[in-house]
A and B are shown apart, each in its own frame.
Chain A
Amino acid sequence: MRRRPEHRRARALYRRLIRFLPHDLGRRFGPDLEDLFAVRLGAARGPLGRGWVWARAILDLGVHGVLAPEWRPTYIDREDGMGGWLQDLRQGAKSLGRRPLASAGIVGTLALGVGAATATWSAVDGVLLTPLPYPEPDRLVAVWPTMNFNGAMVRDALAASPALESITGYSGWGFTLTGQGEPLEVRGARVSVDHFRVLGARPVLGRDFDAGEGVPGAGDVVVLSHGFWVRAFGADPAVVGRRIALSTNDADTRTVVGVMGPEFHPLAHDPDVWVPLTLPPGTDMADDDTWYVNDRVARLAPGATVAEAAEQIRGWARDVREHMPRLVTDEDVREADVRPLHLDATASVGPVLWASLGAVSLVLLMACANVANLLLARGEGRGHDLALRAALGARRPRIVRLLLVESTLLGAAGGALGIALSFGLVRGLVALAPPDFPRLDQIGVDGSVLLFALGATLLATLVAGVVPALRTSRVDATASLGRAARGTGRRGGSRLTPILVTAEVALAVVVVVGSGLMLKSLHRMTSEELGIAPDGLVVLRPSPPTGRYPDGPAFRSYYAQVLERVEALPEVERAAAIHLLPGTSDNWSFPTRPEGFESTDGTTPSVNIRLVTPGYLETVQVPLLQGRTLQPTDDEGGETVVVVNQAFVDRYWPAESDPLGLTLRITSTTARVVGVVGDVRQHGFGSEPRPEMYFAHGQLTWDATFWIVARVRPGIDPAAPARALRDAVWAVDPDVPVGGLEPLTSVYADSAATTRFLATVLGGFGLLALLLGAVGVFGVTAFAVGRRTGEFGVRVALGARRREVLGTAVGRSLVPVAVGLGVGLLAAAVTSRVLASVLYDVAPSDPATFGAVVLTLGAVALGAALLPAWRAAAVDPATVLRRE
């Protein structure tokens, strides 16, 4: 026989594989194996054929050569040793392959359960359990997180608490970068000079801030993030020491002193640049007007505890209240606290994630119950096969072992598929999460997550496999063989299945109630009256750099020109400007003294303020309740006027039927109320309207950049004129960056993102639970009525009407469903309290939701039971009787 050279290579490779065979097998039959392989390879056509020969040869060597028991006869009943296990493995695989549909059902159910549980665990693990990415993260704490500080308070808090080693204040800030191509909006943060030292981080290039730079005049320095350094400066190391045109209200240019490494995780806001918070030395708390230090992070002194620090900060807060009562209220003092930073950073999502993990655990349990049910049904169907084994002498432990091997194989396949699924689910979860979801970058499938998946699979397999194995193995050979010949099964197994159905339905109720409550919350929240009409509104923010617009008049004339251009666009009906975008958490509040109002604790109330251009209230359609809105004539020349909302009147002038003409004092300005307008949910869906004041930006000339709000003409998509809007802004000044261009509806949609996220996740779990529950009830009913086909046939033959037979068949299946609904309702009444903190305007025990869940699940279960019962009742009595 002539062989082509590649066959020689293939033979050599195959010969090498033969070496893995047990020695005697390879020595005695090696040449034969090789010859046969060569013959088959020679007969194979094309690369596909040769690949097939290779695949079979490898399978053959692996299964029969390597896995095969050593020198042992292949009797069916072999009780001991590895050989028996391996044989079981092969037999198990064969037996599963014979019922591909049932096996696929079991593997699919397990994969869904394990996949969903693994993905959820990866989120819990990454967000809540992974330590913060800083050295000694346990020593980092958040100081009085509910309070707004000024710079001097940050300094004094550290001095007042020996348990704190160092502290950093922190505040998000916007900058403009020019001179590097297109003007850029830059996200930044103002931080204490100790910021990086508190976090235990060092720049990779240059240095961080030194103590001298925390003073006005010396603070014109900047540290760049790694990403920004690469993006804006092409990773040029020479940028350190250079002066760049990074402007904000207190400086136009700054010297780059350092660049952070790519692995540095910022605390929040994901800033591109950090600049120092500055404070004139010796400034008193009461005189400091830098009231924007929103967050404080401190490092505990070695050996100090969180409780000690909290006690010291609370003492200091009482002290401040006593000596400077205008700065803090009694309520502020009650909320004074120090918390582990990790808990504080994830506080908003902790309950959400734990609730999701709880829900998915229940779904996993349901999957287990389903698989157990399917295995039981399979076991019943195999009574004959097992009886044969028993008749041939197989003892019970051996049969249990065989069944366990089978369920383990199913578990392994389900687990592997589940893990593969979880990779996709994690990606989906991250994509779905709201942008402000903390520590999103930490979510991923890693070692600990895989370990969890493995554990979940193992648990599922054992829970689902052991009981059916013990049950099914209890075979009575003679009886079973006799019955098998007649095609009827045992009745004994039916005691367990109703319990499984009850458990499954109960679990489904708990999960579906949770998702129902969340969906209702989302609906309530997003269908709430906002107080403005965001449909048809588009917003954008030009950021004129202070270097070019140094004073108020220059600023105002810039915005006036922009508004004029925007209003001239054919798509735009009208346009105005406001300094804080509605639908976001942006807020300014100032100590305000309404005429005649005295607070009970002597403090000056802090009231929200919005600077607007005339026409703003009309553009966003806030209803005017009394008086007039702001007009172009309300400028520097005229008397300072203010429009307040209804909540303001209700809070400060509850007795006044006509608040027009009353005055209020804000800083050193006195303003007269000329109008009252409706309340607006300024902070997005689910936020409560607060007392609020609108001032004309021509009268209260504070430093602020403005958002342009344009109403497009009816029938036009607000996203459509994006290009035209940008061009209109750049027509005034091409060096001004434009950001944040989007329809106002999507800004509001973002404000409900966390609720929507949880509703989607829990809704998905609820759907899965419903599906698994339906499959479970269907499977059990189908099996139960299938076993009783003979009985039904006899009854029909004896004159029973089909409807009665159907009723009996369905009735028996629905008893465990009803019990499950009851148990589930009781359980859900307890578990849904976990959701209380994330529900909106819905009680955890909302009767409508509970009722709807019972109806839905009941209907699904009825449908799932009716389908197979219908088939059973339609049985032809003659066929059945012949068989009997």
Chain B
Amino acid sequence: MPDSRAHPPLHPLEFRILMVLTAEPSYGTAIVREIERAEGGRMTIYPANLFRRIRDLSARGLLEECPSPEGADPRRTYLGLTPAGRRVARDEARRLRDLVREADARDLLGEAEG
């Protein structure tokens, strides 16, 4: 189990990046498009900010560079999750789920809708 001291709550953008890469390795522009699609315009993505986060995640051992697939643009860097990255993403998802459950228990969700 990763302990919470090594991995404090992830930044929303970091969590988004990890989620996009859960399915398969991808590259920068595709990641941005995917996040923008998923957020439906609620989140403004500043590209350099995104790539800085990606770099940070790499430095923490959560992402790694992957070989480019056949026929892809050779200039592009493809990224995928490391086993540690997959674990942290899962822990964060669980933490958020627990958080939402607690909010629900406190009637927060009902209040928000009413």
Contact = CB atoms under 8 A, between A and B. Distances in A.
Interface string B41-73: 000001111011111100110000000000001
Interface string B67-109: 0000001011100000000000000000000000000000000
A31 interface: yes
Contacts of B46: 56, 59-60, 63-64
Interface stretch (A66-74, A563-571, A688-696, A711-719): A66-74
Contacts of A59: 46
B59 A72 contact: yes
B56 A36 contact: no
B27 interface: yes
Contacts of A33: 28, 47-48, 51
Name B's interface SS.
Answer: helix
A21 B77 contact: no
A41 to B, nearest CB: 12
Nearest to A68: B52
B51 A74 contact: no
B49, B53, B59: which has the most chain A beta carbons within 10 Å?
B49
B77 A28 contact: yes
Contacts of B60: 73
B55 A64 contact: no
A385 interface: no
A29 interface: yes
Contacts of A57: 47
Contacts of B52: 25, 64-65, 68
Contacts of A25: 48, 51-52, 55
Contact of A75 (B8, B49, B55, B76): B8
Interface in A68-106: 68, 71-76
A73 B56 contact: yes
Interface in B1-48: 8, 11, 27-29, 32, 46-48
Contact of A73 (B51, B59, B76): B59
Nearest to B28: A32
Nearest to A32: B28
Contact of B47 (A24, A36, A75, A76): A36
Given A29-B77, A31-B73, A74 B48 contact: no
**Which of B29, B51, B56: most chain A Cβ within 10 A?**
B51
Given A25-B52, A72-B59, A74-B56, A32 B8 contact: no
Interface in A30-63: 31-33, 35-37, 56-57, 59-61, 63
Nearest to A36: B47
Contacts of B49: 60, 63-64
A29 B28 contact: yes
A45 to B, nearest CB: 16
A36 B77 contact: no
A36 B8 contact: no
Contacts of A852: none
Contacts of A28: 51, 55, 77
Interface in A363-404: 392
Contacts of A64: 46, 48-49, 51-52
Contacts of B77: 28-29
B48 A21 contact: yes
Contacts of A74: 11, 53, 56
Q: Is the interface of A mostly helix, strand, loop or mixed?
A: helix
A29 B56 contact: no
B108 to A, nearest CB: 15
Nearest to A33: B47
Contacts of B75: 31
A29 B54 contact: yes
A71 B48 contact: no
A809 B90 CA distance: 54
Interface string A724-763: 0000000000000000000000000000000000000000
A49 to B, nearest CB: 15
Interface residues of B, number: 22
Nearest to B75: A31
A219 to B, nearest CB: 79
A91 to B, nearest CB: 13
Nearest to A22: B55
B8 A35 contact: no
Contacts of A76: 8
A71 B53 CA distance: 9
A32 B27 contact: yes
Given A25-B51, A60-B46, A60-B48, A32 B59 contact: no
Given A36-B29, A36-B32, A60 B47 contact: yes
Nearest to B49: A64
* Among A32, A72, A73, residue most surrounded by chain B Cβ atoms (within 10 Å): A32
A27 to B, nearest CB: 8
Centre residue among B48, B59, B76 by max chain A CB count within 10 A:
B48
B88 to A, nearest CB: 12
B103 to A, nearest CB: 16
A61 to B, nearest CB: 5
A394 to B, nearest CB: 12
B51 A72 contact: no
Given A28-B77, A33-B28, A35-B29, A72 B56 contact: yes
B48 A61 contact: yes
A32 B48 contact: no
B55 A37 contact: no
A455 B88 CA distance: 49
A59 B51 CA distance: 15
Contact of B48 (A31, A65, A392): A65
Nearest to A30: B75
Contacts of B59: 71-73
Interface string A7-26: 00000000000000100110
B8 A29 contact: no
A63 B56 CA distance: 15
Given A60-B47, A74-B11, A32 B76 contact: yes
Contacts of A32: 27-29, 32, 47, 51, 76
A56 B48 CA distance: 11
A24 B77 CA distance: 11
Contacts of B32: 32, 36
B51 A31 contact: no
A25 B60 CA distance: 16
A57 B44 CA distance: 12
Nearest to B31: A32
Contacts of A61: 48
A25 B59 CA distance: 12
A82 to B, nearest CB: 15
Contacts of B48: 21, 25, 33, 60-61, 63-65, 68
B34 to A, nearest CB: 12
A21 B56 CA distance: 15
Interface in A284-341: none
Contact of B55 (A56, A71, A392): A71
A73 to B, nearest CB: 5
A31 B76 contact: yes
Nearest to B46: A60
B113 to A, nearest CB: 24
B64 to A, nearest CB: 12
Most buried by B among A63, A65, A74: A74
- Going nearest first, the 7 A-B pairs with the smallest beta carbon separation are A32-B28, A64-B49, A60-B46, A65-B48, A64-B48, A29-B51, A28-B77
17 contacts: A25-B51, A25-B52, A31-B76, A32-B28, A32-B47, A33-B47, A33-B48, A36-B32, A57-B47, A60-B48, A60-B49, A63-B48, A64-B52, A65-B48, A65-B51, A68-B52, A71-B55
Interface of A: 21, 24-25, 28-29, 31-33, 35-37, 56-57, 59-61, 63-65, 68, 71-76, 392
Given A21-B48, A28-B55, A75-B8, 18 more contacts: A29-B28, A29-B77, A31-B76, A32-B76, A33-B51, A36-B28, A36-B32, A36-B47, A60-B47, A60-B49, A61-B48, A63-B48, A64-B48, A72-B59, A73-B60, A74-B11, A74-B56, A392-B8
